[in-house]
Amino acid sequence: MPRYHVLHDTIYHYGAPVSLAQHLLHLVPRETEQQHVLHHELSIQPEPTERRIRQNWFGTEEIHITVSEPHDTLRVLAASTVDLQGRPAAHREAAGPAWEEVVASLARYPGDAPLDAVECTQASPLVPTAESLRAWANPSFKAGRPLLEAARELNSRLFEEFTFDPKATTVGTSVLQVLQQKRGVCQDFTHLMLGALRSLGLAARYMSGYLLTSPPPGKPRLIGADASHAWIALWCPGHGWVEFDPTNDCQPQDEHIVLGWGRDFTDVTPMRGVILGGADHEVTVEVTVMPAELHSLDSLIEEVSNRQDASEPEAA
- pLDDT tens track for 13-60: 999 999 999 999 999 999 999 999 999 999 999 999 999 999 999 999
Q: What are 284's strand-pairing partners?
A: 11
Tens digits of residue pLDDT in 269-305: 999 999 999 888 899 999 999 999 999 999 999 988 8
HSE, side-chain direction, 13 A CA sphere, residue 82: 30
Tens digits of residue pLDDT in 232-256: 999 999 999 999 999 999 999 999 9
Tens digits of residue pLDDT in 66-93: 999 999 999 999 999 999 998 999 999 9
Domain-by-domain residue ranges, the chain?
3-85+269-311, 90-267
pLDDT for the residue numbered 309: 65
Tens digits of residue pLDDT in 143-201: 999 999 999 999 999 999 999 999 999 988 999 999 999 999 999 999 999 999 999 99
Say what angle helices 99-107 and 147-161 make with each other, to 10 degrees. Answer: 110
Q: Give the span between the Cα atoms of 237 and 234, in whole angstroms.
A: 10
Helix (H) or strand (E) holding 181: helix 175-181
Q: Are 258 and 207 in contact (CB under 8 A)?
A: yes
- Residues with Cβ within 8 Å of 233's Cβ and at least 6 positions away in sequence, in order, are 204, 205, 207, 241, 242, 243, 244, 261
The pLDDT of residue 61 is above 90? yes
Q: How far is CA 282 from CA 72, 169, 247, 278, in A?
A: 11, 19, 28, 10
pLDDT for the residue numbered 293: 94
Tens digits of residue pLDDT in 21-34: 999 999 999 999 99
Length of the chain: 316
Q: Architecture of domain 90-267 in CATH?
A: Roll (3.10)
pLDDT for the residue numbered 224: 63
pLDDT for the residue numbered 315: 44
DSSP type of residue 146: B
Nearest Cα neighbor of 11 from 313, 256, 250 is 313
pLDDT for the residue numbered 223: 63
pLDDT band with cut points at 50, 70 and 90 for residue 108: confident
Three-class secondary structure of residue 174 per DSSP: coil
Radius of gyration of the chain (CA): 21
**Which CATH number applies to 3-85+269-311: 2.60.40.2250, 3.40.50.740, 3.40.50.720, 2.60.40.1510?**
2.60.40.2250
How does DSSP assign 53-115, residue by residue?
EEE-TTS-EEEEEEE-S-EEEEEEEEEEEEEE-PPPTHHHH---SBHHHHHHHHHTSSSSS-H
Whole-number average pLDDT of the chain: 93
pLDDT for the residue numbered 316: 38
The pLDDT of residue 313 is above 70? no
